[in-house]
Amino acid sequence: AQKVTQAQTEISVVEKEDVTLDCVYETRDTTYYLFWYKQPPSGELVFLIRRNSFDEQNEISGRYSWNFQKSTSSFNFTITASQVVDSAVYFCALKEDQAGTALIFGKGTTLSVSS
Amino acid sequence: DAGITQSPRYKITETGRQVTLMCHQTWSHSYMFWYRQDLGHGLRLIYYSAAADITDKGEVPDGYVVSRSKTENFPLTLESATRSQTSVYFCASTPIPAGYNGYTFGSGTRLTVV
């Protein structure tokens, strides 16, 4: 069965610190897709990134970077030089190619960045 | 405006009442989903739909009913609301599963059952 684990429930950092949010997934499928979403205090869910299982190249977008490692079934998210606006709940999600159409979410990590 | 709209944003209802949460999208996306968000559980799938008149159960479907007579609408009905259904409900849509732009979510409906 597919599963997504975000072991860090809450993380607190001070502005300008780097922070990594962990995501570990389980799947039997060889083709699958991984996602990260951000939920700021206003409550909406904002899509950040999608990765497929054949693309292990790391991604960088500004202060955000993602490290995909199939060998450890992990898709970790790093924020460099964190800012107060990064305070949010971050969700990792998985979609298997052969198992339905919906995203399966982890329980989320609440990131608090203080000034 | 184009997008995915949920209504109402907030709803308080009494135990045993029927309540319907609305979801409307303007993109003609084939796939639509309902999730509930609860502290400690993340987002859990209630129901999803691959096209008009095609719906299927997700992880937590008990107590909920959906319909999809038109591509753009995907209402979620709580037939007899219970306190355990107090939650934030999110609707989502996508043109294809696992597309490059991810799944787009509505702003959510915060439902309180008293």
Tens of pLDDT along B21-30? 999 999 989 9
Question: Using CA atoms, how far apart are residues B70 and B83, in angstroms rounded to an integer?
Answer: 30
Nearest to B9 by CA among B22, B19, B18, B24: B22
Convert the pLDDT of each residue in B34-93 to its tens digit: 999 998 889 999 999 999 999 999 999 999 999 999 999 999 999 999 999 999 999 999
Give B18→chain A minimum CA distance, Å: 25
How many angstroms separate the CA of residue B40 from the nearest CA in chain A?
6
Chain B CB contacts of A97 under 8 Å are: 98
What's the confidence (pLDDT) of residue A100? 74
Q: pLDDT truncated to tens, each residue of chain A (115 aa)?
A: 569 999 999 999 999 999 999 999 999 899 999 999 999 999 999 999 999 999 888 889 999 999 999 999 999 999 999 999 999 999 999 998 877 789 999 999 999 999 9
Residue pair A19/A87 in contact (Cβ under 8 Å)? The answer is no
Q: What is the pLDDT of residue A1?
A: 58
CB A72 within 8 A of CB A91: no
Q: Is the pLDDT of residue B1 over 60?
A: no
| Residues A102/B48, Cβ–Cβ less than 8 Å | yes
Q: What is the pLDDT of residue A2?
A: 62
What is the spatial distance between Cα A52 and Cα A60, in angstroms, rounded to a whole number? 16
Please give, rounded to a whole number of angstroms, the shortest distance from the CA of A108 to a CA of chain B: 6
A interface toward B at CB cutoff 8 Å?
6, 33, 35, 37, 43-45, 47, 50, 52, 91, 95, 97, 100-108
* Confidence label for B2 from pLDDT (cuts 50, 70 and 90): low
Are B48 and A103 inside 8 Å of each other by CB?
no
Question: Which residues of B, range 2-61, sit inside 8 Å of A by Cβ?
Answer: 31, 33, 35, 40-45, 48, 50, 56, 58
The position carrying tokens 């897709």 is A33
C-alpha–C-alpha distance, residues B20 and B37, integer Å: 17
pLDDT at A99: 72
